[in-house]
């Protein structure tokens, strides 16, 4: 049978369609070369892989924060520097989950309730690395790093057994009150309010007035702020930028559940963190972290005996050994009576201590000392070597090797003293014990 030219064309078309159909069912093997990153080529109608990779879960806390981001980007090299820093330091982002996951859901709820920009909830990441036990050399303490004087002004109480600067609810209320007041007083400008939170309202106001007198804009970008403040605000904005667009910065974000992770138990008797941790089967450090305001690692003898515990803690108020006697302060600690002209720095130096170690031994102490005031001088000698202890708070760029060179000890010794691996990544705000020669 002869086939016309039209028939030949039809047969050819049919064969092409069959071949194409086979190719769709059994595609040829991919070329031996790396393909594009999955996250950079999302499939229409199937966004789940992208969300999983970059941590943009629609039901997560980070997504709720993104919807509330509202602060302007002041620009400048500082913001770009810290964007790169966060992108290359995943441990800094992990702090949003641990320890931040214990606090951020509550803080975010308070920020949203006041109608504030969601970035305000991230401020403790810059202030303290979300470490409620953090203390600065200047005596600031807690998630929001309140100094003694500012804390007293906003009603945060400090005593022998408690320090509300390190209490989640009390310190958050005070910090948001302070920021709200600064925002109203400084032209409704949140960047100026944040700058004043770090440098002081009086300092920022004087710089604004100086700019106005010289015909310059009284805005954050044009103020001649202290170096620390010039980095403080951009660092927060950079963190916001990375969380808002992780794909652009090539980072994978951790998942952060939008729920409070703890419960609060009210006991009829005094509770000590060590006993509670033993009953729950968790580390005492975790109990002390989420109850950092209880500076003696126990509820006050006279109450209240309210304590936070992880939700999955199998806790019973009838557990044997729960109410063991709270140990008294070590008898090896000495005391010093403040004299006229004394300062914490001078006392610490005279006794071979760091400011952090002296502040830690005197919960609630402020920078203003009164003659006759008694200061606890802790016995800070390493039992093995008899050397004095320094408490170092990890800053950007710190590594074990860099700290070893700085304090003239070995990196392996620092790792051993702090029970961490020699190749550990240090977390911003982490406290390390060091015993220099």
pLDDT over threshold 60, residue 143: yes
Who has greater pLDDT, 311 or 118?
118
- What are the tens digits of pLDDT across the range 320-349? 667 765 544 444 456 777 888 788 777 876
Residue 296 pLDDT? 86
pLDDT-above-90 percentage for the chain: 42
Residues 161, 286: one domain? no
Write out the residue range of the structural domain in which residue 363 sits: 334-434
My answer on whether 269 and 235 are in the same domain is no
109 and 234 both lie in a single domain: yes
Per-residue pLDDT for 275 more than 70?
yes
- The domain spanning residue 408 has which CATH number? 3.10.350.10
pLDDT digits (tens, 9 = 90+) for 246-266: 999 999 888 888 999 999 999
Residue 289 has pLDDT above 90, yes or no: yes
Among 189, 209, 244, the domain boundary falls at: 244
pLDDT for 367 equals: 65
Residues 235, 131 share a domain: yes
The answer to whether position 281 is within a domain reads: yes
Nearest alpha carbon to residue 162 among 12, 304, 328, 55: 304
The pLDDT, as a whole number, for residue 347 is 81
The answer to whether position 95 is within a domain reads yes
For residues 272 and 375, membership in a common domain is answered with: no
Residue 27 is predicted with a pLDDT of: 35
- Confidence band, pLDDT 50/70/90 cuts, at residue 360: low
Per-residue pLDDT band at 51 (split at 50, 70, 90): very low
User: Any idea which residues carry the catalytic annotation?
Assistant: 127
pLDDT of residue 100 exceeding 50: yes
Domain with residue 194: its CATH number is 1.10.530.10
Task: Please say if the pLDDT value at position 199 is more than 60.
Answer: yes
pLDDT at 57: 54
59 band by pLDDT with thresholds 50, 70 and 90: low
- My answer on whether 240 and 266 are in the same domain is no
Least confident interval from 14-23, 200-209, 274-283, 314-323: 14-23
Q: According to the model, what pLDDT value does residue 389 have?
A: 66
pLDDT at 379: 60
What's the CA gap between 145 and 163, in Å, rounded?
12
Question: Among 203-212, 244-253, 426-435, which is the least confidently predicted range?
Answer: 426-435
pLDDT at 43 over 60: no
User: In which residue are the tokens 């063991």 written?
Assistant: 324
Residue 38 pLDDT > 50:
no
Q: Identify whether 146 is part of a domain.
A: yes
pLDDT at 295 over 60: yes
Highest mean pLDDT pick, 57-66, 126-135, 143-152, 164-173? 164-173
Q: Are residues 272 and 399 in the same domain?
A: no
Q: Is residue 366 part of a domain?
A: yes
Mean pLDDT of 228-255: 94
Residues 75 and 155 in one domain: yes
**pLDDT score, position 208:** 97
Least confident among 136-140, 205-209, 327-331, 374-378 = 327-331
Identify the band that residue 372 occupies on the pLDDT scale cut at 50, 70 and 90: confident
Can you tell me the mean pLDDT for 144-150? 91
pLDDT band, residue 387 (cuts 50/70/90): low
| pLDDT for 418 beyond 90 | no
Query: What pLDDT was estimated at residue 45?
Result: 33
* Mean pLDDT (whole number) for 208-236: 95
Tell me if the bond preceding 99 is cis, omega within 30° of 0.
yes
pTM of the model: 0.65
Q: Which of 63-67, 261-265, 378-382, 424-428 has the lowest mean pLDDT?
A: 378-382
pLDDT at 219 exceeding the cut of 60: yes
119 and 223 inside one domain:
yes
Note whether 170 and 203 are same-domain residues: yes
Please report whether residue 372 resides in a domain: yes
Shared domain for 345 and 424, answered yes or no, is yes
Average pLDDT on 375-400 reads 66
pLDDT for the residue numbered 29: 38
pLDDT computed for residue 316 by the predictor: 76
- The answer to whether residues 274 and 154 belong to one domain is no
Share above pLDDT 70 across residues of the chain, in percent, rounded to a whole number: 77
In a domain, 49, yes or no: no
Contact by Cβ (8 Å): 159, 294: no
> Is residue 154 situated within a structural domain?
yes
Inside any domain, residue 48: no
Q: Determine the average pLDDT of the residues in 348-375.
A: 70
Total number of domains constituting the chain: 3
């Amino acid at each position: 049978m002869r086939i016309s030219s039209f028939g030949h064309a039809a047969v050819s078309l049919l064969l092409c369609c069959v071949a194409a159909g086979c190719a769709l069912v059994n595609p040829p093997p991919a070329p031996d070369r790396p393909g594009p990153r999955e996250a950079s080529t999302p499939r229409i109608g199937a966004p789940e892989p992208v969300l999983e990779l970059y941590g943009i879960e629609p039901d997560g806390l980070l997504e709720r924060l993104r919807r509330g981001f509202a602060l302007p980007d002041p620009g400048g090299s500082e913001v770009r520097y810290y964007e790169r820093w966060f992108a290359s330091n995943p441990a800094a982002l992990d702090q949003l989950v641990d320890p931040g996951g214990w606090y951020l859901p509550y803080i975010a709820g308070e920020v949203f309730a006041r109608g504030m920009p969601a970035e305000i909830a991230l401020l403790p990441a810059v202030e303290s690395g979300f470490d409620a036990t953090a203390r600065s050399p200047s005596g600031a303490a807690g998630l929001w790093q309140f100094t003694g004087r500012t804390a007293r002004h906003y009603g945060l109480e400090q005593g022998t057994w408690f320090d509300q600067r390190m209490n989640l609810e009390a310190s958050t209320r005070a910090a948001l009150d302070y920021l709200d007041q600064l925002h109203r007083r400084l032209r409704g400008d949140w960047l100026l309010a944040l700058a004043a939170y770090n440098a002081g309202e009086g300092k920022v106001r004087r710089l604004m007035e100086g700019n106005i007198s010289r015909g310059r804009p009284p805005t954050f970008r044009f103020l001649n702020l202290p170096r620390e403040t010039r980095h403080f605000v951009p660092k927060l904005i950079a963190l916001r930028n990375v969380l808002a667009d992780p794909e652009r910065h090539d980072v994978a974000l951790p998942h952060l559940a939008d729920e409070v992770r703890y419960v609060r138990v009210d006991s009829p008797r005094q509770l000590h963190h060590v006993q509670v941790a033993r009953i729950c089967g968790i580390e005492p450090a975790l109990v002390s972290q989420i109850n950092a305001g209880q500076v003696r690692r126990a509820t006050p003898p006279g109450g209240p005996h309210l304590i936070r515990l992880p939700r999955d803690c199998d806790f019973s108020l009838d557990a044997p050994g729960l109410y063991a006697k709270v140990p008294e302060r070590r008898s090896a600690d000495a005391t010093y009576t403040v004299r006229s002209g004394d300062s914490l720095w001078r006392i610490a130096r005279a006794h071979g201590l760091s400011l952090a170690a002296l502040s830690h031994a005197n919960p609630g102490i402020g920078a203003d000392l009164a003659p006759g005031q008694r200061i606890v001088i802790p016995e800070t000698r390493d039992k093995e070597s008899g050397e004095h202890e320094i408490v170092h708070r990890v800053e950007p760029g710190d590594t074990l090797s860099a700290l070893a060179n700085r304090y003239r000890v070995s990196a392996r010794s620092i790792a051993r003293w702090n029970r961490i691996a020699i190749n550990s990544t240090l977390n911003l705000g982490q406290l390390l014990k060091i015993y220099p020669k």
